[in-house]
Amino acid sequence: MGIVKEVMDLGLGIMVLTREKTEKIVDELVKRGKLKKNEGKGLVEELIKRGRAEQKDFEKRLSKIISQAYSKLDIATKDDVKKLEKEIKKIKARKR
């Protein structure tokens, strides 16, 4: 599931970029007098908190989609391969 990790890492990278952009936008609103400084910090934290929750939800949904895709492709899992390896060892042991 290397691709899953790469996609999740990408999502985390996007979240970091989003935090930086969010902070810049909020700082600009504070400078313009549209928000108080303490309100701005709270807003950034709330938006980041929501972003993290959405990130976790995204990861769960992505993992489920990938699992379903693997299932439809009828690809052997690691557990399937391990079971076969054990069976092969048993058969080889019987032949000796």
Tell me the pLDDT tens digit for each residue of 18-54.
Answer: 777 778 877 887 888 877 878 777 877 777 787 778 7
Tell me the angle at which helices 37-73 and 2-31 cross, rounded to the nearest 10 degrees: 160
Kindly give, in sequence order, each residue whose CB lies less than 8 Å from that of residue 7, ignoring residues fewer than 6 positions away. Answer: 62
Residues 80 and 75: their CA atoms lie apart, in Å, by: 9
Residues 30 and 19: their CA atoms lie apart, in Å, by: 16
Residues of the chain with pLDDT > 90, as a percent, come to 16
Residues 36 and 42: their CA atoms lie apart, in Å, by: 10
Residue 74 sits at φ, ψ, to 5 deg, of: 60, 45
Residue 71 has pLDDT above 90, yes or no: no
